[in-house]
Structure 1
């Protein structure tokens, strides 16, 4: 049976060229001109392979990688870029972090022989962590893993783009698969949502993150951690007490913990209790609105909820260096944050040009694969020491 391939590229010429390359071996090929259009197709059809460019309007390749990780199917993915090799490496790291079935990366102009060689063994190219995922994430095993060693937090640095200071890190969930490797955050969150255990996942992530903060303090590293919390948790009257109890247990100051509420949660659950968030804020915890700009509920809720930080959705960052409208929206979002006396974080910074743009616009913090990928606790400490000592240099920081 012929493999079904989806080619995603905003260039009609490139889509036509790749289609010509693939028709001779007998592949069935469909095309999409953006990540958004591709996602619409993927929600109704299954494909064996997705070949996607990284720089596209509406939703770029980085955004599409995250969406692919949450699909029920497990398509192979080939990444294309006409930009520098560092962008491709960042995309490769992101795909592996999200446990996407990555077949390879190619620079433009695309070499036909290399492309066909990547497609030759699709059936055998499943990532280690994905094989056997149904068994790994079965109900009983999922709950046991949450409470033992199945869940493994990773940490992505946040830097002040003007001074280069480490201002924090975001915590992501990874799942240790018994067969080896890891499942990414998308797979873990999807499993928790399907089984109705998002509140347990959030609690466990808070516990593991603060436990690590306590260890780092003894090693001389003080770092603010940003952790996503589910609306299920915020509906519980004792949630603020639970979080405060964890800070006391691991000797962490509340000011070193930032709780992120996603804009999607605000849209889905407009009844998130203000008293819980107000109590957390009064106790010194930071409250951030994550993925700002991805929906439409946030401007209304900004008046009601005691946020002190906006995290701008990565889709604006990826498009802002090439599209005037996206750049205007990004600048307006940063300006809005500052007029409301909120700090502004730009996530998804994947290139030096993106870093310089948001730095010049006044972003207070930046985060993305250009600066550092999500790392284990040990890897993060090594990265920090190398960065502090000048072993790691990031062009565009503090320039």
Structure 2
């Protein structure tokens, strides 16, 4: 089957070179001159791969990755960038954070063999037996990986914007892809929902995250953790007892654990059981309403459920940085959290301007790539020490 490629370049050179490299292959190449044109085309047409210069006059590769992550059918991405290793790593990190399949970061002029090598992965996505999702994870591999070493947690630091102190971390799922590398949380959750294993995924992530938290504690490092859960688990009568049992098994204090419940879960099932949430809260576990602003959970539910944190969705933040009306809505959400006596957290801080605005609006806690990327347990401990010692500094944060 012919694969469709969209090139994004200020000049026609990228499209022309690509067409010459792929003349005898099963790829059809289209081209646009800039980022905004690319968004218009991707909104109306489906492509298998987008190949773009990392920076055009009106767009950057980071912008492209973020936009691709919001598409219903996500194309894979290849970016052409300079050879700055830090920039290349930041591109890879952002792609992973947004669960975008980054096939490669190539240097200009493009090497034809490297390009064909990167594109070879596209031809094999999805498998031939109809059992793989768009992520390329086959159901049998997924279940086997859940019970062995396919799944691993990574940890993103959360910072108090008033004091500058680290307040803990959020645990995210990462999947070790069969061909090497890691798939991000979005890809893992997608296949779990497709195959009906969200409850299994959540239980396994809770087990792995609490196990690591207990290990840190025995090593003298107490790290509060936020861990995502789902409506599927909340409907299980024994969910509160399972979470409590895991905390006891790994020697973790309930007060060091905050469970995040996504607002959209209330749309799926308005009967999200209060009993489990109330029992968990009574036992000392924290509860956070995640992705606030993406759904339509009645505000009265905020009063009925014992939340102690409200997490504002990253899209609220990005819109507020560009639009005065969105700023007003963002500020109102922060005020709502404080009037309900909830800690207000914002996700997705990606620039000093966003951090400064969040501080000005009164946000209590923040996380995002500008502060720290999701890291393995060993990387995270190094980050903690470097941050304490001032080796790592965050511009705009005193």
State the TM bucket, normalised to the shorter chain. Answer: 0.7 to 0.9
> How far 1:154 sits from its partner (Å)?
0.3
List runs of 5+ in structure 1 lacking aligned partners. Answer: 8-16, 106-112
Q: 44-53 or 250-259: which moved more?
A: 44-53
> How far 1:129 sits from its partner (Å)?
12
Q: 1:199 aligned to 2:199?
A: yes
Specify the alignment match of 1:10 in structure 2. Answer: none
CA deviation string 1:36-63 (max 9, x = no partner): 867643xx6224216487998xx96564
Alpha-carbon distance change, 130 to 316 in structure 1, aligned in 2, over 3 angstroms: farther
Alpha-carbon distance change, 355 to 268 in structure 1, aligned in 2, over 3 angstroms: same
Specify the alignment match of 1:315 in structure 2. Answer: 315
* TM-score between both structures, scaled by the size of structure 1: 0.82
Q: Give the Cα–Cα distance (whole angstroms) in 2 for the partners of residues 279 and 379 of structure 1.
A: 34
Check conservation: 2:77, 2:100, Cα contact below 8 A.
no
**Superposed, which structure 2 residues align to 1:43-82 within 5 Å?**
45-49=46-50, 51=52, 61=64, 63-67=66-70, 71=73, 74-78=75-79
Alpha-carbon distance change, 288 to 38 in structure 1, aligned in 2, over 3 angstroms: farther
Q: Secondary structure at the match of 1:18?
A: coil
CA deviation string 1:304-351 (max 9, x = no partner): 322111111111222333322222221111111111111111110011
List runs of 5+ in structure 2 lacking aligned partners. Answer: 20-28
Alpha-carbon distance change, 77 to 132 in structure 1, aligned in 2, over 3 angstroms: closer
Check conservation: 1:281, 1:306, Cα contact below 8 A.
yes
Alpha-carbon distance change, 60 to 2 in structure 1, aligned in 2, over 3 angstroms: closer
How many residues were matched structurally? Answer: 373
Aligned-residue Cα RMSD (Å) equals 3.5
Q: Secondary structure at the match of 2:157?
A: strand
Q: Secondary structure at the match of 1:117?
A: coil
Specify the alignment match of 2:266 in structure 1. Answer: 266
Q: Give the Cα–Cα distance (whole angstroms) in 1 for the partners of residues 259 and 314 of structure 2.
A: 18
**Superposed, which structure 2 residues align to 1:282-293 within 5 Å?**
282-293=282-293
> How far 1:300 sits from its partner (Å)?
4.6
> How far 1:34 sits from its partner (Å)?
9.0
Alpha-carbon distance change, 46 to 380 in structure 1, aligned in 2, over 3 angstroms: same
Q: 1:180 aligned to 2:180?
A: yes
Q: Give the Cα–Cα distance (whole angstroms) in 2 for the partners of residues 299 and 119 of structure 1.
A: 56
> How far 1:74 sits from its partner (Å)?
4.6
Larger RCO: Structure 1 or Structure 2 (Cα < 8 Å, ≥ 6 residues apart)? 1
Specify the alignment match of 2:30 in structure 1. Answer: 28
Q: Secondary structure at the match of 2:303?
A: coil
Specify the alignment match of 1:226 in structure 2. Answer: 226
> How far 1:176 sits from its partner (Å)?
1.6
Specify the alignment match of 2:236 in structure 1. Answer: 236
* TM-score between both structures, scaled by the size of structure 2: 0.82
Check conservation: 2:3, 2:48, Cα contact below 8 A.
no
Q: Secondary structure at the match of 2:260?
A: strand
Specify the alignment match of 1:108 in structure 2. Answer: none
Alpha-carbon distance change, 198 to 335 in structure 1, aligned in 2, over 3 angstroms: same
Check conservation: 1:154, 1:376, Cα contact below 8 A.
yes
CA deviation string 1:94-141 (max 9, x = no partner): 114435225438xxxxxxx93x72898544226999977757732222
